Amino acid sequence: MDATQANPTYDLSTGRGLIACPRCDALHIEEDLDQGETARCIRCNTVLARPRAGAFVQLIALSFTSIVLLIGAVFFPFLEISRMGIGNATSLFGVALAFADGVLLPLVLAVLAMIIALPVFRSFLLLYTLMPLAQGHRPHAHAADAFRMAEALRPWSMAEIFVIGTSVALVKVAGLASVHLGPAFWAFCGLIFVNVAARAFMCQTTVWDAIEQGNALPAPGDRG
């Protein structure tokens, strides 16, 4: 289902809003979509909205999965390097402690923030936003601000970049010693698939509409 491009003389009093294409900024009249339908930009074919049945529940499950994987990735061994019968295994937490007193401390903190702290914080923001909506309840206070921040932090969550960079480095190290990948590395690999699935289920327009409709519901104290 293609969205209809907005006319400059469009009357906002009809109750329907406008959607701007995130790629080319073309304005479209917001249409009510059924589950499984897709609204695309008529200029560049970018997906504008794609509501899915049960998407909120699936996003909540994926957010919990991300938190569990990230916590495990911090404390479980990341890799083990051995040479001539001497080996050593380390985790991301162990690396952070090793450089806690050195000049590389700011760099270590920045890396941990990008690959651990920000993704975990973003998952909590999504849970804060989506859990009441999935139950058909009124959204929490400042849910709109939480969701807006979660979407703003998405480009800064660099777990995928960390896995790619680590894989390239391990290819070079493998020629010097035996490298064994630990559970934390595979947790990061699993996180990549979780993030891809979350992006497939995420429809910003649907979330914003649910927040707006939820705010129109009476507060619990006003019922009865």
pTM of the model: 0.77
SS3 category, 129: helix
For the chain, which residues make up each domain, given as ranges? Answer: 1-51, 55-218
Token reading at 15: 């109750």
Q: Which residue has the tokens 């009093």?
A: 13
> Stretch 150-158: mean pLDDT, rounded?
85
State the Cα–Cα distance between residues 69 and 116, nearest whole angstrom: 10
Token reading at 118: 């920000």
Q: In sequence order, what are the residues at sequence separation of 6 or more whose Cβ sits closer than 8 angstroms to the Cβ of residue 115?
A: 157, 158, 159, 162, 188
Single out the residue of 89, 94, 88 nearest to residue 74, CA to CA: 94
> Stretch 45-64: mean pLDDT, rounded?
86
SS3 category, 175: coil
pLDDT at 220 over 80: no
Confidence of residue 13 (pLDDT cuts 50, 70, 90): very low
Assign a CATH topology to domain 55-218: Butyryl-CoA Dehydrogenase, subunit A; domain 3 (1.20.140)
Are 48 and 163 contacting, i.e. CB atoms less than 8 angstroms apart?
A: no
Q: In sequence order, what are the residues at sequence separation of 6 or more whose Cβ sits closer than 8 angstroms to the Cβ of residue 28?
A: 3, 4, 5, 6, 18, 19, 20, 21, 39, 41, 42, 48
Question: What integer pLDDT is reported at residue 15 of this predicted model?
Answer: 47
Report the half-sphere exposure of 165 (CA within 13 A, side-chain side).
Answer: 7
List pLDDT tens digits, range 95-121. 777 777 778 788 888 888 888 889 999
